[in-house]
Structure 1
């Protein structure tokens, strides 16, 4: 049985968080990017074009950024990841984002994979599996794959977004603990027992939250792997 492939796929669904909608992330080909009707239907407010030709023009109501690169193994795509990650993350805070190249298979897929790797602190293979589960035709060229693996190594020791939030919360609690001055007017740390208990409880709670998230991520990854196995079996 031949599986029908879509011209666009939703990689990250829009969600409601704290009564605020976080935009979805779409991966598509050039025909979708040129279709004002489709962009309006999907409520896309930001378009990221990862393509050298043809030139893409869109509605003035849509925020548009172009990364002008060809789909070749020698092309350095990794140098653009900070810019593309920032574009996607910033505009997902208020609208849906579409990333496209010519076919929505290699260049744009690499950009989306890099974004997910950075945002969730995931490895390359796990992220690739996740994206393929949503868009089976995704296949970055071999040069882009090597760069994404290098990008994984760079990100390995960086805290994830969730870890950043936990650290910020802990730092906020610490900042509320009073300081006292000694006779030389130097500040020193003198927390009370209550302050320490409060800090310990907050750290424990956040560690538990992080552990629950890790379990959920693992369960989700297992589902994705199983789903990928179904896709692979369909082509065999």
Structure 2
């Protein structure tokens, strides 16, 4: 037909048309596969932030880069607490969101309370405009949690206990470092005249041998090994007894909010966390 109408077929001229069609079909299929791989990669690199209220969200740096997820949720503003770590030009989208940037280290000595007022004003501003704001640090664990907890206490008039329960209900990985926790406890006392909860430090605690008083490592396994090696004359029953002493010591030191009693479930979960780490 092409020859009858004097059409120029270019590189098709003189070639086997079946080979050309097969090559083109292969190209199209490869493009589809690459597109799917790209979509899978994007999905794996996406994090959905946790919704504390209809207008307040919390997450990590990955959530702040999950543009399509943020747009789907209706996020309009982003409060970044780790601009020094993530950079602004590479990880922010000023054409899509309005940003408020802070650079503060996740260090126990950092004065995070110094940015409470400015950060909270930004959150209130977003709420008044009918927008939605994401508060994020690098991991979505310490700095962002501290700012959000302080916001719930200062602007929403919650105690630390109520603010903590509100946050942890939707964002389980929230865990301010011990220095930030002290700031929150001091704020709780200042606002309400007393602290509403006790804070368990998350630093690993050295196991101490109940017999000789020496440090025996960080885990119950290291303590048991120390008892078997350093106190060889002890029978297996005595070793177990010494281990029980250490467990009972940890249970006696267990602190819960409001000074209530420790339930069997709490005892079991605390013992597992402490001695199987």
Shared fold (TM-score, shorter chain, > 0.5): yes
Indicate which of 35, 49, 73 corresponds to 1:42.
Answer: 73
Output the TM-score relative to the length of structure 2.
0.50
Q: Is the 8 A contact 1:36 1:59 kept in 2?
A: no
Cα drift, residue 59 of structure 1:
3.0
Map of 1:39-188 to 2, 5 A cutoff? 39-51=70-82, 52-56=84-88, 57-93=92-128, 94-156=130-192
Give the structure with higher Rg (CA): 2
SS at match of 2:77: strand
Structure 1: gaps (5+ residues): 1-5, 15-23, 158-228
Give the Cα–Cα distance (whole angstroms) in 1 for the partners of residues 181 and 132 of structure 2. Answer: 26
SS at match of 2:95: coil
SS at match of 1:95: coil
Give the Cα–Cα distance (whole angstroms) in 2 for the partners of residues 153 and 58 of structure 1. Answer: 39
Output the TM-score relative to the length of structure 1.
0.58
Cα drift, residue 35 of structure 1:
2.0
Length, aligned pairs only: 149
Which structure shows the higher strand fraction?
A: 1
Instruction: Kindly report structure 1 stretches of 4+ aligned residues shifted beyond 3 Å.
Output: none
State the Cα deviation string for residues 20-77 of structure 1 (Å, max 9, x = none): xxxx111011011012212211111110001130213223231100111010101010
Which structure is higher in RCO with an 8 Å CA cutoff and minimum separation 6?
Answer: 1
Structure 2: gaps (5+ residues): 1-46, 194-264
Question: C-alpha root-mean-square deviation of aligned residues, in Å?
Answer: 2.4
SS at match of 1:65: strand
Give the Cα–Cα distance (whole angstroms) in 2 for the partners of residues 58 and 142 of structure 1. Answer: 33
Give the Cα–Cα distance (whole angstroms) in 2 for the partners of residues 133 and 8 of structure 1. Answer: 13
Q: Is the 8 A contact 1:121 1:156 kept in 2?
A: no
Give the Cα–Cα distance (whole angstroms) in 2 for the partners of residues 62 and 28 of structure 1. Answer: 16
Q: Is the 8 A contact 2:141 2:175 kept in 1?
A: yes
State the Cα deviation string for residues 92-143 of structure 1 (Å, max 9, x = none): 1221110001111100011111111112212212211221111111100000
